[in-house]
A and B are shown apart, each in its own frame.
Chain A
Amino acid sequence: MPCLHRHVSCSLAAGLLGLVAGLSLLWPPRAHAQTALVATPPPAANSDSAGVTAPRLVERVEPVYPPEAAPEAQGPISVALIATVSAQGSVTSVEVAQTAGQAFDDAAVTAVKRWRFEPARRGQQAVDSRIRVAIRFASPATAAPAVEAGAGAPPPAAVEPPTAAAAPTATTSAHGSPPSAAPSYAAATSVPGGPPAAAGLAAAPAAPPPPTAANASSATHPEPTAPQPPFEAGAHARVHAPSRGTSDFQLEPGKLVSVPHENAGAWLKLAPGILLTNEGGEGHAEQVFMRGFDAREGQDIEFSAGGVPINQAGNLHGNGYADTHFIIPELVTSLRVQEGPLDPRQGNFAVAGSADYELGLLQRGLTAKQTLGSFGTSRTLLLWGPSGESTGTYTGVDLYQTQGFGQNRDGRRGSLLTQYEGRSGVHTYRVGATAYLASFHTAGVLREDDYEQHRVGFYDTYDPRQGEDASRYSVSAELDSHYDQMIVRHQVFGIVQPMRLRENFTGFLLDPQEPSQSPHAQRGDLIDLHNDANTVGARGSVQVSDRALGQPQRLEVGYFGRADFVDSTAMRVEAATGHPYHTDADLSSTLGDLGLYADVNLRANDWLALRGGLRGELLTYDVLNRCAVQSVSHPSRTNPPGDASCLSQQDFGAYREPTQRVSTAGAAQSPRASLVVGPLSGVSGSIGYGRGVRSVDPIYISQDAKTPFASADSVEAGLSLERKLGEIDVSARSTLFQTRVDHDLVFSQSAGRNLLGGASTRTGSANTLRATGRFFDLAGNLTYVHAVFSDTGLLIPYIPDWVVRFDGVLFSDQLLRAEQARGHAARGSLATGATFVAPRPLPQGERGDSLFTLDLNATVGWSMLELGVSCTNLLDTQYRLGEYNYASDFHSAAFPTLVPVRHFSAGAPRAVYVTLTVHLGGEP
């Protein structure tokens, strides 16, 4: 118990560290700084002194840059509009207050007419209002690459809300950047000064400054009073779930996209406590550590992309295996990371949390990118977003190949992602497809003693047969219908995912002579695993909004269903011949998952909201074990089983079929709730509780098992701070959490995957800090976790106590003003990403090495061209990305090495990549 107290204290200290760091930045160290914090008035929300609340934008259609105007356009062009918003929230009329020519005026009016608002209100009553809207069109020629604009550092004006006509003016952007800095949106709204409100209409006050994308990503106020960040604001965009508090991260990398990220999975590192390792090679799913969970390749994290699930239920390599390599990083517009199971939308596998990628293409037109670099690496990327279509319409093709560093790390993969997003009346529909192919080799692990004795090199391999062939094909269709007070969403999807994996963690250890086998020596432990998964499913929701207590209240009821048809085998392969000699498993599984949830967002007032609800999950299993009998106590003398793996006899040689079917089902109810409070401007807090479930591996299913899943109970409390210091947006947040899991997963080297273990408890703190200014975007996070087995109090191996991550970028869109005067400003950025991981606990009381990596990227761009040079592992540190401690026998000694020793998978040495990007056509 004292130990627990100590680690709670540590977590508190870690939390305090994060908050103090944030406070130190947010508030000057003057004596009255804290007083000012307390005395800060509650957010004005959107209520003026007369009790009239401004209309709130809930749907926005991006204006389309007039194609006919593009060639002549030089720099940004603004159109000011006066729009009348009805008491029903629709735009009933639009007047041009400041023209920019017919083409631009028409484009702006056409878009704004399709906007929808939560109407202005006087008291409880909705009233008509007039607002002033400024639309800024940035010339395609001056626009920065779409991907840079994607996120965290939003285009200055793009996030500015429409403001009431009588509002005070705000003529500068959120960052004060010049208009040309607005890089990627077809058009952007800004808030220039405007004329007084038209007579006869409510003079709605100005909405408060909206969150920038940077702080929007961390906003935890009960209800955003400003329009959503750019990706959410489009009429076509999906409606995001309201924040669950300080552990809910809506990540929009923004300029941080410049930080070297090897794949889409790496974006996870913007959330605190995330460590990614990979002993499986270029196309193998990243092993994710989140919030004190060794989630391996996704077993404890629910992954999805555009609503389509990524986790593979029943994958023999790991139930919930999630490979995100098929996602083209440049098509990621945002990523929601919910740490902890606090949102009823989170389904199976959301034990540590969930990650949902939102895909789109911000830079319209054609983007071609070619990368060449170390170790024979090349990458060719083509992105196309037709002009006039929304960002949800895109096609991307990504081809990658490398010879890899060291031995046996060659790989090649290709990915195609395409989606069409259209609108018909109140309906928005999306039809998408993906195809992904990967084939690569893997070095696997090395014994530390072999490396120290120079028997192997740091980047060598023991078994060159290790590798993987994986592919993924999916189609999806989605329909969103936006009615006055209701949003209805349905989505269906189908996924095919064949995969073959070959890995050897133990060398020659797991094949001892059994009495019933013919005499043999150790034949080798290479696992040849094949998993063929076909998935169909659907999800949907109905969201109803209304007002009560003078506040908007929301109820969402949703469903999720999927069926997985999985065929999987795992065999051991003889080193000398390459022939399989033993079948470890041969399963054919039909898995069902049906989830229903209800989620409410109840607001008592401007600063207090209760969010949460209940999720019910029904999991069904129908497993045909085609290798049900692998040994017999008393085999037949006349028909001995010999070396066969899947036997057709039982005790004393009695015949039986080698197959056996088992089926079972289990249901779980998972309550989840968050209380979010924000009585002080820029300060909000949250407390939350939630239960998550993880279905079990089909291989563990026994007939009518009572609870075929594991559950996790998580509690947390957090504090979030946001402040604008001059032109710098600063946000910080800190969360204390504790999670108890009744059946945890522990890595088994002999199985090459996580196996079920006992109960566990994790206590810790996650902290983030982000500062965004005109020319920089800095983000850091720090997480401390104390993860122990509940019965023994011993640490859970492999889970790092401390993870620290820093991402930062300096950028300018006007490197050469003279060039800008001629129409094209050069732009550039310098970005860095650094990760520090404290020594990880390993089995048998061992500790791994600390890990520190530093990546760097520099880009310069002009007009349609951009050149980038990135360097990963700048310090060329020879680091151990994955560390283990177990027994293996790679013939390091004359006899089997049977006691646990350190093993590692090598991290990549320094590598340099040069990328040339060309943008053609489209709006910026």
Chain B
Amino acid sequence: MIRTKMTRLALPAALAAAMIASCGRQAAETATAPAETPAETASAEAPPPASTPVEANMTPAPPAEGELVEVLLCDNETKTTAVADGTREGGQAIADELMTQWKRKNPDAGWIDAELAMHQVKPPADNKDVVGKGQGSTYSRITEMDAALWAQETYKLAVEGSTIFHSGDKLGSTIAVSCDMCHPDASNTHPETYPKFQEQLGQVAMLRDMINWCIEHPVRGERLDPDSAEMRALEAYIIAQRQGTPLQYGKR
């Protein structure tokens, strides 16, 4: 008899551990700076571990050994059936199978690797110096996990910015012009010099004002909403590429 047992709230601890371990391994395999994989799988797919409150009556009993169990991924769609054997290897096999299925359904999941193969994006601060100190996101000491999460989420935004920066289509150019044509690797953009007075704009410009001016004129596209996801990503990429440059606001 197949007993449909799993909900996303009740993965066995062994399986949860195996999935997290699997994510961690992928992170180690991704050579380029802070790995993106954990963030992506963590947000898209891995079960929210102990932090989600679980009502007591929703917690099913662990499956008996040898019982056939259907395991549902946290997207509530992807599932697999396996024999519960209570071993770490068994849990890993289930996680691998779910991951394979999920990747097949989400072929763009590798966009970060694809972008980084083409364009270098400088990594953010790793915050290793604060690990073990102060208060982290869980109100305890800052862990390596905290620092890794901060770095990878920040990095992801900058990498997304790189995809827009290098695409006339994503920028909405009407003449097939993208930012990198004049600014390879975001050179000559000087984000550290803003705000500064731009006489041609008749005002003190922030970086986003100059980005919008460029989108409107050399790129001949439509101005972005300054709070749009695209603008935030573009700013992140441009600033990332000047990592280590001292701020000099107002500099020409």
Chains A and B belong together in one complex: no
Interface residues of B (CB under 8 A from A): none
